[in-house]
Amino acid sequence: MFTPYPSERSQQIGERVEAFVREIVIPREKELRNTSHGPAEALVSQLREQARAAGVMTPHILTNGQHLTQLETAAILKRSGLSPLGPVALNTMAPDEGNMFLLGKVANSEQKKHFLDRIVSGHARSAFFMTEPAEDGGAGSDPSMLLTTAVQDGNDWVINGRKAFITGADGAQVGIIMARTGGGDKTRATMFLVDLPNPAIQIECLINTLDSSMPGGHALVKINGLRVPSHNILGEIHEGFRYAQVRLSPARLSHCMRWFGAAVRAHEIASDYAVTRRAFGKLLIDHEGVGFMLADNQIDLQQAALMIDWCARELDAGSMATTESSMTKASVAETLFRVADRCVQTMGGLGLSQNTVVEQIFRETRAFRVYDGPTEVHKWSLAKKIKRATQARHEQQKQLANVE
């Protein structure tokens, strides 16, 4: 079900990762310490200690600090996603994976030493504070609606605002906060690094959501008079939106990688059920209605895998891959949800129950259609690009006609 390994080192790492997830992580999926707001910290710590012992902690970043290529990362993260607990145990989970990538690209040496190293080692979790409450009229899919402000006061910046759906904020030790720094200029924003917890950052509540795989859940947060020294600005002042683009495409794609692994797992479970369960005198898989659903799953999974790898190659070639990642995220999210839905349907009542992980994977892939941009926002963005390109082509044709 997986595409071939792109390199020898990715094969060695990927095989160890898959063995660890199947042998160590999957047996712990039914522990009571898996809560509606993600696995408890004690479970996370234990799993990460086991990952360190197995030599698979943060497997997409080598011991010398080098990040695997995106294509190699895809081979690893697909396998880490075979269990909802896999990315948590291996430190390939969002938002940490995206934050590590961003800090690796933008942070200075002191910031890397203080903030990044703790995340890479798996001893600290992080949170990315960007999304804001809809009831406040704050930023969601449209970052220009950012309301959180940062005002300079001597050598410090004072941040005020509210953030919503901040994954992992509860229990995080590193935060990246996006705030407006241009006064009335909505195009200017800056990223600030903060140590957590901080008394100026208060968790108002944990939001009950459909998914439940991410430690710390998704928090509603109030930031009141947070003072951040200037040396904790990530990159350059007013360049927050540009740095968000650095993080955006790889983070979208890594979501696709992880949830691809989860969908593969659901398909395995549904297939096992269909070739052992009998109804109306024959195995379920011998009923076309069931067999065709599983065949469609296999087709969809292969197409999703190829699209992920295509986008990874674009990133590895040096492209920002904004369009490619948008296409991939929209397509893969919808595809994997169809796969998970068919798995539930194949298994009937058992698929609706928590007796297997299929029910959770269904919920996770449904949430994925919203996280990192709803499908409709990606399609709207793509449609705008199609419009511009088509209008430019028409204009070029007119100019050529006038010359002739």
Contact predicate 72/34, CB 8 Å: no
Q: State how beta strands 218-229 and 156-167 pair.
A: antiparallel
Helix (H/G/I), strand (E/B), else coil: 292: helix
Q: Supply the CATH number for residue 315's domain.
A: 1.20.140.10
The domain boundary residue, chosen from 237, 263, 279: 237
| Residues 6+ positions from 234 with CB-CB distance below 8 Å | 102, 103, 106, 107, 111, 176, 190, 191, 192, 193, 240, 243
Task: With respect to residue 361, please indicate whether it lies within any of the assigned structural domains.
Answer: yes
Is residue 132 included in any domain, yes or no? yes
| The pLDDT value given to residue 404 | 64
Residue 396 in domain = no
Same domain, 277 and 382: yes
CATH of the domain at 105: 1.10.540.10
Domain boundary among 104, 120, 136: 120
Whether residue 265 contacts residue 83, with contact meaning beta carbons closer than 8 Å, is answered with: yes
- By CB atoms closer than 10 A (0-12, 13-18, 19+), residue 377 is middle
Decide if 79 is inside a domain: yes
- Is 216 inside any structural domain? yes
Residues 224 and 356 in one domain: no
CATH of residue 173's domain is 2.40.110.10
Per-residue pLDDT of the chain (404 residues; tens, 9 = 90+): 677 899 999 999 999 999 999 999 999 998 877 788 999 999 999 999 999 999 999 999 998 889 999 999 999 999 999 999 999 999 999 999 999 999 999 999 999 999 999 999 999 999 999 999 999 999 998 888 999 999 999 999 999 999 999 999 999 999 999 999 988 888 899 999 999 999 999 999 999 999 999 999 999 999 999 999 999 999 999 999 999 999 999 999 999 999 999 999 999 999 999 999 999 999 999 999 999 999 999 999 999 999 999 999 999 999 999 999 999 999 999 999 999 999 999 999 999 999 999 999 999 999 999 999 999 999 999 999 999 999 999 999 988 888 76
For residues 271, 273, 274, 280, the Cα torsion angle rounded to the nearest 10 degrees is -170
Q: How would you classify the pairing of strands 156-167 and 149-153?
A: antiparallel
> CA–CA separation, 216 vs 271, rounded Å?
33
Do 262 and 362 have their domain in common?
A: yes
Dist. CA 86–CA 106, nearest whole Å: 27
Distance CA 278, CA 184 (A): 66
Q: How far apart are the first and last CA of the chain?
A: 54
In this structure, the answer to whether residues 138 and 217 fall within a common structural domain is yes
Q: How many domains does the chain have?
A: 3
Strands (E), 182-284: 189-195, 201-206, 218-229, 233-234, 278-279, 282-283
Where does a domain end: 215, 237, 259?
Answer: 237
Interacting residues of 158 by C-beta distance below 8 A, sequence separation 6+: 150, 151, 152, 225, 226, 227, 228
Burial of 318 (0-12, 13-18, 19+ CB in 10 A): exposed
User: According to DSSP H, which parts of 112-206 are helical?
Assistant: 117-120
Residues 225 and 276 in one domain: no
Say if residue 31 is in the same domain as residue 68.
Answer: yes
Cα-Cα-Cα-Cα dihedral sign, residues 249, 166, 117, 237: positive
Q: Which domain holds residue 289?
A: 241-390
Q: Are 96 and 119 in contact (CB under 8 A)?
A: yes
Residue 27 is assigned to a structural domain of this protein: yes
Residue for token pair 């990530």? 234
Q: Are residues 249 and 217 in the same domain?
A: no
Same domain, 188 and 265: no
Beta bridge partners of 159: 150, 226
Residue 404 lies in a domain: no
Per-residue pLDDT tens digits for 256-268? 999 999 999 999 9
For residue 64, give both structure tokens: 């010398």
- Give whole-number Cα distances, 167 to 26, 220, 245, in Å: 23, 9, 19
Same structural domain, 99 and 212: no
Specify if 40 maps to a domain: yes
Helix (H, G, I), strand (E, B) or coil at 101: helix
- Based on the fold, state whether residues 258 and 355 are members of the same structural domain: yes
Q: Are residues 380 and 248 located together in one domain of the fold?
A: yes
SS3 content of the chain, % helix, strand, coil (to 5): 55, 15, 30
82 and 143 fall within a common domain: no
pLDDT of 209: 96
The Cα–Cα gap between 125 and 110 comes to: 19
Structure confidence at residue 403 (pLDDT): 77
